[in-house]
Chains A and B, each alone.
Chain A
Amino acid sequence: MELLNKSLRELNELIKRKEVKPTEILEELLNRIKETEPKLNAYITVTEEKARKKAEIADKELEKLGEDEIPELFGIPLSIKDNINVENVRMTCASKILENFISPYDATVIKKLRERGAIFVGKNNLDEFAMGSSTETSYFGPTKNPWDLERVPGGSSGGSAAAVSARSAIASLGSDTGGSIRQPAALCGVVGLKPTYGRVSRYGLTAFASSLDQIGPITKTVEDAAYLLNIISGQDSKDATSVRIPVPDFLENLNNEIKGLKAGLPKEYFVEGIEPEVKEKVLEAVKKLESLGVEIEEISLPNTKYAVETYYIIAPAEASSNLGRFDGVRYTYRAKDYKNLIDMYCKTRAEGFGDEVKRRIMIGTYTLSAGYYDAYYLKAQKVRTLIYQGFQNAFEKVDFIVTPVSPTTAFRIGEKTDDPIKMYLSDIFTIAVNLAGLPAISIPCGFDNKNLPVGLQIIGKAFDEVTILNVANVIEKELNLNTIPPV
């Protein structure tokens, strides 16, 4: 397991010096996957043979390449959340309806990683179509938390977070619509970054809620997150919502200079529903920041209290539209017996989608219907603007904002599955960030008395990933936690 604990930069250096071969890393990883999967179920698909072939080719290439000809991810195996297209690999979105779908193309992020030499080892489990906060809605069964196999890893990118935590993935890409990278990262004790909306191309990410979705890294360390963000960022001619703005070198900017920065502590984020130990650990990290010369200021984000309601109108509305294409006509599952076209649609979708997905399609269809649109969707969009303005106001006074990621540590499997509202509230601290399109990072900041990780969220100004990565990196180094789980 020695290689699997290394950072991306370390692995790259080992390969560059030709001290390690790509097949050695891959075989160690495949062994670890075989060892942990029966317990975790973090992968839906492991492309063992494909990855092996690629690694063997990489081994041979390596012999011919000079040190400076070797790109950042050469021969390094990565895993990908199973709602991102990797050409010629099955992409299920953890749904029966896409059980046998083979991606015909690479997502832009995959293309970029491939160009830098990455090898893809498999597709990680998630909540069906990324709808959930526990990875329990997956058609392929729940993923378990490596810190306690009775508990959830969070979601929806639970497979990615659990695998990175258990070292059955070196690093992974997830997607974040309302907290789907940050919350599982927090619950599994790893690093999760949601970039600014528009920083990373969404082309090839199966859309859940188009105006909120963003791809980001899930990694062992802040440095690894910066390492991957450097590669996947940038405007893409295939995504009209990606933004043409310079991409700084996030790695180079990890310079530990945080003295004199101002941090905002929103009072609304530390009140009701939050577990005392979560609050405690977060505030300890804040103290640490203060001791390092960061000025702490209490701020107010008054409209955040509407974030969950606003989110649960906008996200299902967009989802109901985005999921219409899974209709049994072209590439999805199709019901066996049907009387006519309408019957085929109904049966295919009734059999192909799980309960949570159906619930959201129904909510979304309802709020977009004639006569309800103004009262729900339009109003929610207005509140969304207010939430955004609230952050803008706050960022006039502070450089970044510190909050908990989730009100609780990892909860028990099945604990919230019968109560959707309770489940929705586990994203209460992450959702507003998506509504405002801001970048935010989740890093481990301690453990509760059950030895479950607690996450700290650092929210930045739009396109200022540099600051939050830098701050997160400093805290990570200062806390120096042991984040290797017992599994």
Chain B
Amino acid sequence: MEFEAVIGLEVHAQLLTETKIFCSCKNEFGAPPNTNVCPVCLGMPGSLPVLNKKAVEYAVKAALALNCKINRYSVFARKHYFYPDLPKAYQITQYELPFAENGWIEIEKPDGTKKKIRIKRIHMEEDAGKTIHGEGLDPNSYVDLNRAGTPLIEIVSEPDISTPEEARLYMQKLRDILVWIGVNDGNLEEGSLRCDANVSIRPKGSDKLGTRTEIKNVNSFRFIQKALEYEIERQIKVVRSGGEVVQETRLFDSQRGITKTMRTKEEAEDYRYFPEPDLPPLIIDDEWLESIKASLPELPDQVKERFIRDYGITSYDADILVRDRALARFFEEAAKNYSGEAKKVANIIISDLLGALNEEKLEISESPVEPLHVAQLLELVDKEVISLRVAKEEIIPEMVKSGKEPRAIVEEKGLVQISDESALKEIIKKVLENNEKAVKQYREGNDKQKQKAVKFLIGQVMKETRGKANPKLLNQLIPQVLEEV
């Protein structure tokens, strides 16, 4: 029997607000332990939560970008459990009435096919602190409550995902969108995005759902795929050998690439949810919703479509350009300032500028090169002031290093293209003297060999001129000189 998997993901995303969700403590990663805390996020007796409006706005922004319906009336609830990093012994979250429901995102598989993954609900909640266990012989555990009260949204998908690869693509797409709209920093390593996966198997084509397991702690794109691959394989083995999958929570061991039982259904906690009496229901009125909508930028899919339509670039290039909002903006500005084909802009950014920035360990958002400079650079090539090769190999790296305009670099370094025919002829003559073999090949060879020889000689002239010779002219002049000599 063949099996298929049914997968749903629960993704926790931290919101990039200045302050925490229920107090005015700073929301930042990496501060010394227990420094960003106050009576509220420490759960001191008598302290009360007050909802951070910015957190609501970020959450709604995310929900709109994920095509959700915004519930104008939603309710916070308390979820109870005891753990040292949960100061109040309950987490303030949303339960029966979340603020957003019924959304979707579209993923594109490597073969180009697209698939919609539905989002069941998104709710707002507070993060817990961190428990750190002592290393080596230290028997103590330590609690850092800086993270307690960080605003989170939990995005719950429908079980529309069928393969580990789709799960990874969904997670990546989610990350790209949240980073794009500026509500999350996309940093999985620091826990800004965390993923739990629910997975079950069933005979291929069946519409019944099997018993699912939940995998916790899959915190990289690679691990999501690996953990699911392992878990699906494991469930199939259990069923094939006549056993039954047990409903349980499992933990992914990234070192060994396996999942292990964490707790069974019987051990599952009763969270005793009830409406949070300290917070009135969250009401999002028309005016507020409209102002949030207005602040939402054009989304990556829309931008991609527009780039293909308006700038005539390939789908492949567009995909790369919309992976980062700053990059897309950079491209568009450069393209707008350039009189030639935008395709060339896309090409030089993707194949040269990004590499050069990478060499200097810079993000596009930190680029010393202005979009206008890229346009100017391409104009210089078009006007045959410099060759494309010089532009790519000499000028771009220098622009990244110094942030200077291309024209200034060209002049400073004397990189102006040699288009003077007599000057070029002199250089060609010199090159011919040093390359008798090629000359001989040209004279004695057939058409194909002639072409090969010319090509070789162009390369030699380029070498001699450090790429400054006008390649178009060389194409005419080399055969001409060969005939003359």
**Interface residues in chain A, defined as those with a beta carbon under 8 Å from any beta carbon in chain B:** 83-85, 91, 93, 98, 101, 104-105, 107, 202-207, 209-211, 237-241, 317-318, 320-321, 324-327, 329-331, 341, 345, 365, 368-370, 373, 377
Contact A240:B45 (CB < 8 A) given known A105-B39, A324-B80, A325-B87: no
Contact A105:B278 (CB < 8 A) given known A324-B80, A341-B84, A345-B82: no
Are the C-beta atoms of A206 and B45 separated by less than 8 Å? yes
Q: List 19 A-B contacts (CB under 8 A).
A: A105-B47, A205-B46, A206-B45, A206-B46, A207-B278, A238-B48, A241-B278, A317-B274, A321-B78, A321-B90, A321-B272, A324-B88, A324-B90, A325-B87, A330-B42, A330-B143, A365-B272, A369-B272, A373-B272
CB distance from A197 to the nearest CB of B (A): 11
Write out the residue numbers on chain A whose beta carbons fall within 8 Å of the beta carbon of B39: 104-105
| Residue of B46, B80, B90, B273 touching A107 (CB-CB under 8 A) | B46
Q: How large is the interface on B (under 10, 10 to 19, 20 to 34, 35 or more residues)?
A: 20 to 34
A325 to B270, CA, bound (A): 17
CB distance from B98 to the nearest CB of A (A): 18
Are the C-beta atoms of A329 and B84 separated by less than 8 Å? yes
Write out the residue numbers on chain B whose beta carbons fall within 8 Å of the beta carbon of A370: 270, 272
Are the C-beta atoms of A368 and B272 separated by less than 8 Å? yes
Are the C-beta atoms of A238 and B50 separated by less than 8 Å? yes
* Smallest Cβ-Cβ distance to B89: which chain A residue: A324
CB distance from A349 to the nearest CB of B (A): 10
A345 to B84, CA, bound (A): 10
* Smallest Cβ-Cβ distance to B39: which chain A residue: A105
* Contacting residues of chain B (261-296) with chain A, CB-CB under 8 angstroms: 270, 272-274, 277-280
Contact A377:B274 (CB < 8 A) given known A238-B50, A324-B82, A330-B42: yes
| Residue of A91, A321, A341 touching B45 (CB-CB under 8 A) | A91
Contact A327:B51 (CB < 8 A) given known A318-B277, A369-B270: no
Contact A240:B50 (CB < 8 A) given known A104-B44, A368-B272: yes
Write out the residue numbers on chain A whose beta carbons fall within 8 Å of the beta carbon of B368: none
A238 to B274, CA, bound (A): 22
Q: Is B43 an interface residue (CB 8 A)?
A: yes
Are the C-beta atoms of B274 and A321 separated by less than 8 Å? yes
Write out the residue numbers on chain A whose beta carbons fall within 8 Å of the beta carbon of B278: 207, 210, 240-241
Q: Is B403 an interface residue (CB 8 A)?
A: no
A321 to B39, CA, bound (A): 18
| Residue of A85, A211, A325 touching B89 (CB-CB under 8 A) | A325
Q: Is B49 an interface residue (CB 8 A)?
A: yes
CB distance from B20 to the nearest CB of A (A): 14
Across the A-B interface, the 8 shortest Cβ-Cβ residue pairs? A324-B89, A210-B277, A368-B272, A211-B277, A206-B45, A204-B46, A325-B43, A329-B84
- Beyond A240-B280, A321-B90, 11 additional contacts (C-beta under 8 Å) are A85-B46, A105-B39, A107-B46, A209-B277, A237-B50, A321-B80, A321-B89, A321-B272, A325-B43, A326-B45, A369-B270
A interface footprint on B213-226 (CB within 8 Å = 1, 0 otherwise): 00000000000000
* Smallest Cβ-Cβ distance to B83: which chain A residue: A341
Are the C-beta atoms of B45 and A373 separated by less than 8 Å? no
CB distance from A191 to the nearest CB of B (A): 25
A209 to B279, CA, bound (A): 13
* Smallest Cβ-Cβ distance to A369: which chain B residue: B270
A101 to B43, CA, bound (A): 14
* Smallest Cβ-Cβ distance to A205: which chain B residue: B46
CB distance from A98 to the nearest CB of B (A): 7
CB distance from A382 to the nearest CB of B (A): 13
A67 to B44, CA, bound (A): 40
A369 to B269, CA, bound (A): 10
A interface footprint on B75-97 (CB within 8 Å = 1, 0 otherwise): 00010101010011110000000
CB distance from B449 to the nearest CB of A (A): 83
A33 to B272, CA, bound (A): 45
CB distance from A332 to the nearest CB of B (A): 9
A345 to B86, CA, bound (A): 13
Write out the residue numbers on chain A whose beta carbons fall within 8 Å of the beta carbon of B82: 324, 327, 345
Which of A207, A239, A325, A368 gathers the greatest number of chain B CB atoms within 10 Å?
A325
Write out the residue numbers on chain B whose beta carbons fall within 8 Å of the beta carbon of A369: 270, 272
| Residue of B51, B87, B272 touching A240 (CB-CB under 8 A) | B51
Write out the residue numbers on chain A whose beta carbons fall within 8 Å of the beta carbon of B44: 85, 104-105, 331
* Contacting residues of chain B (121-153) with chain A, CB-CB under 8 angstroms: 143
A103 to B270, CA, bound (A): 32
CB distance from A242 to the nearest CB of B (A): 9
A416 to B43, CA, bound (A): 34
CB distance from B283 to the nearest CB of A (A): 12
* Smallest Cβ-Cβ distance to B272: which chain A residue: A368
* Smallest Cβ-Cβ distance to A342: which chain B residue: B82
CB distance from B191 to the nearest CB of A (A): 22
* Smallest Cβ-Cβ distance to B278: which chain A residue: A210
Are the C-beta atoms of B84 and A373 separated by less than 8 Å? no
CB distance from A126 to the nearest CB of B (A): 13
CB distance from A280 to the nearest CB of B (A): 39
* Smallest Cβ-Cβ distance to B88: which chain A residue: A325
| Residue of A237, A240, A365 touching B279 (CB-CB under 8 A) | A240
Which of B88, B278, B279 gathers the greatest number of chain A CB atoms within 10 Å?
B278
Write out the residue numbers on chain A whose beta carbons fall within 8 Å of the beta carbon of B277: 209-211, 241, 318
Write out the residue numbers on chain A whose beta carbons fall within 8 Å of the beta carbon of B42: 330
| Residue of A207, A241, A321, A324 touching B280 (CB-CB under 8 A) | A241
A371 to B237, CA, bound (A): 35
A280 to B42, CA, bound (A): 51
* Contacting residues of chain B (40-62) with chain A, CB-CB under 8 angstroms: 42-51
* Smallest Cβ-Cβ distance to A326: which chain B residue: B45
